[in-house]
Structure 1
Amino acid sequence: MIAKLRIGLALALAASGTLVLVPLQLISMKTGLWRETVVLKVWHRVILRALGMRVHVTGKLAPQRPLLIAANHVSWTDIPVLGAIADVRFIAKADMQGWPLVGFLSSLQRTVYIDRERRRKSGDQAGEIAGRLVNGEAMVLFAEGTTGDGNLMLPFKSTLFGAATMAIADGAAREVAIQPVAIVYTRLHGMPLGRRFRALASWIGDQDLAPHAKTLLGTGAMDVEVRFGEPVVFAAGDNRKQAARLVEERVREMFAAALREPLPAPRPKPPQTGPKA
C-alpha cells in the first residue's frame, strides 16, 4: 500500500514538473532567452526527487573546453543524476530517439544519437559530436557502450573516443580534455546496497523501462555518488586506445573506492523547537 502511494505521488510530481518545464525548454531552445541547461537542471532534479534519489558529488566538472566526459553506465537514471549537477549534453544510442516520450525528452536536451551498427554514418556522428565539443558543450559519453550491473565495470570502447580525435584532426582544437567520471549507487534507505541489491538500480540489456522505473519509484530513498576525476589531456599524435585505457583506469579506481567506502548517509535534521516561554 505504501509503495503504491509512493508511486502515485512520484508520478504526479514527475508529470506536473514535465508539463510545466517542457514549454519553458521549448521557448529557451527557440529564443535563447536563457541557457537551455537551466531548465534541464530543474527537470532532472524533479525526476530525482520523484525517484527519491540523493546525489553526492566528489570533485567538479572540469573548466577546460573542449571537454568530453567519459563515465561508466549503470542505468537510465545516470542521465538525470549527471544532468542535475552539471551543464552537460549526452551521447545516446540511436534507438532511444524512437522511444515514445523518452525520445522527445532526449531531443529537448539536444542529445546526439549514435548508431554503431551503421558504419557509414559513424563519421557524420563523430563529426557532430566533435563540432559540439569545439562549440564549448561538455558532452557525456558512456564509454562502456552499454549498461553494467552496478557491481562491475565493462571495458571502455576506444572507438567511442573518435570524436576527440576528429576535433583535433580538423584543426578546430589543439587538444581535448577527457574527464573520467564514476557513477555508483551506494545506499538504500541509508543502508549499504551490497552486491545483491545494487542490481535494483541497474538497467541491463533489453529490460523494459516502465517496470524498472516502477520498481525504483516504489523503492525510493537511494543514494548515488558521482566522482569527478582529473581530466586527461588528449592532443594531436596521442594514441586513442592508450587514452581510453588511462581514462578507464581512473574511472575504475573511483568506482572501486565508492563501492569500498561509500560516503556516509546524511543524518536527518533534528526537529526545530521554539523558544522556551
Structure 2
Amino acid sequence: MITSLRIGFLLLVIVVSTLLLAPVQLAGLAFDWRIRRRLPRLWHRIACRMLGIRIHVHGRLDSRRPLLIAANHASWKDILVLGALADVVFIAKNEVKTWPVFGLLARLQKSVFVVREEKRRTGDQVNEIAERMADGEIVVLFPEGTTSDGNRLLEVKSSLFGAAAAALPLAPQGVVYVQPVAIAYTRVYGLPMGRFHRPLAGWPGDVPLLPHLIGVLKAGALDVDVSFGETAEYREGDKRKQLSAVVEGRIRTMLLDHLRGRHPV
C-alpha cells in the first residue's frame, strides 16, 4: 500500500510539473525564446529526482562550440540524465514522434527527428542539426542507433556523424567539437548493480514502457555515473570513420571502467 501511494505521489509530481511548464515551453517554441532551451533541464531534474535517479558526474562538459555529444544509449532514462545536466537537444528517430508521453516530450524539447530510410530528406535533417549547433545549441547523438542492454556498447555507426561534417562550414574556427560521454548505471538500493537488477538499466524496445517505469519507481534509488571524455576535434579533410573509431573507443573505455567498478578521476 505504501509503495503504491509513493509511486502515485511521484507520478503526480511529474504530471503537475509537466502541466505547469508545458505552456511556457510552448510559448518559448512559438516565439523562439531562449527559455525554451533552459526549461527542459528543469523538468528533467525534477523527473530524475522523482524517479530516484542519482547522477554522479565525472569530468566536465566542453565549453567550446559548436559541440556534438556522442553517448551510449541503454534506456529512455539516458535522456532524462543528460537533459538534467545541460541544455541539450536530442537527435531522435522519426517514429519517436508517435510514442506515448515521450513523443510529446521530445516535441516540447524541439528534438531533431530523422528519417533514415528516406535519403532525399537526409540532407535537410543534417542541415537543421548543423544550424542548431552553429546557433550554440548542444546536440546529443546516440551513435549506436538503438538501445543496448546497458552492459556494453554496440557498434557505432559512422554515418550518423554526418552532422559534424555538415556543421563545419558554419563553425567559426573551422572545427566541430565532438565529446564522447559514457552513461553507466552502477548501483541500485545503494548496492552495486548485478545481473539480477541490470534490466532496470537497459530498456530494449520490445519491453513495455509502463511495467519498466514501475520497476524503476519501485527501486527507489538508481545511481548513474556520467563520464565526459576527451573531446575530439573534427576539421575539414578529416574522415568520419576515423572520428567514429576514436569516439567509440573512448566511450567504451569509460563505460567498462564504471561497470567493472573502476572509477577513474
TM > 0.5 fold call: yes
Aligned residue in 1 for 2:59? 59
Aligned residue in 2 for 1:172? 170
What CA distance in whole angstroms lies between the structure 1 residues aligned with 2:167 and 2:120? 19
Aligned residue in 2 for 1:257? 257
Q: How does 1:192-231 map to 2 (within 5 A)?
A: 192-231=192-231
Q: How does 1:131-142 map to 2 (within 5 A)?
A: 131-142=131-142
Q: Which structure has the larger Rg?
A: 1
Aligned residue in 1 for 2:25? 25
Contact 2:26 2:108 in 1 (8 A): yes
TM-score, scaled relative to structure 2: 0.93
Please, which moves more after superposition, 94-103 or 22-31?
Answer: 22-31
Long gaps (5+) in structure 1 = 264-277
Following superposition, the deviation at residue 103 of structure 1 comes to 1.6
DSSP 3-state at the match of 1:84: helix
1:202-259 CA-partner distances (Å, limit 9, x unpaired): 1113222222112212222000111001110000000100100100100111101111
Aligned length: 261
Please, which moves more after superposition, 228-237 or 202-211?
Answer: 202-211
What CA distance in whole angstroms lies between the structure 2 residues aligned with 1:172 and 1:251? 27
Distance 1:140 1:23, change over 3 A: same
Question: In structure 1, what residue type is equivalent to 2:254?
Answer: M
Following superposition, the deviation at residue 113 of structure 1 comes to 0.7
| Percent of pairs with identical residues | 50
Question: In structure 1, what residue type is equivalent to 2:195?
Answer: R
Question: In structure 2, what residue type is equivalent to 1:248?
Answer: E
What CA distance in whole angstroms lies between the structure 2 residues aligned with 1:262 and 1:58? 12
Distance 1:33 1:91, change over 3 A: closer
Following superposition, the deviation at residue 76 of structure 1 comes to 0.3
Contact 1:126 1:163 in 2 (8 A): yes
What CA distance in whole angstroms lies between the structure 2 residues aligned with 1:161 and 1:34? 26
Contact 1:57 1:227 in 2 (8 A): yes
* 1:83 correspondence with 2:64: no
Aligned residue in 2 for 1:120? 120
Following superposition, the deviation at residue 33 of structure 1 comes to 5.6
Aligned residue in 2 for 1:11? 11
Contact 1:179 1:231 in 2 (8 A): yes
Following superposition, the deviation at residue 102 of structure 1 comes to 2.2
What CA distance in whole angstroms lies between the structure 1 residues aligned with 2:134 and 2:34? 21
Long gaps (5+) in structure 2 = none
TM-score, scaled relative to structure 1: 0.90
What CA distance in whole angstroms lies between the structure 2 residues aligned with 1:231 and 1:195? 32
What CA distance in whole angstroms lies between the structure 2 residues aligned with 1:33 and 1:158? 33
Distance 1:114 1:4, change over 3 A: same
CA RMSD of aligned residues (A): 1.5
What CA distance in whole angstroms lies between the structure 1 residues aligned with 2:138 and 2:255? 21
* 1:149 correspondence with 2:149: yes
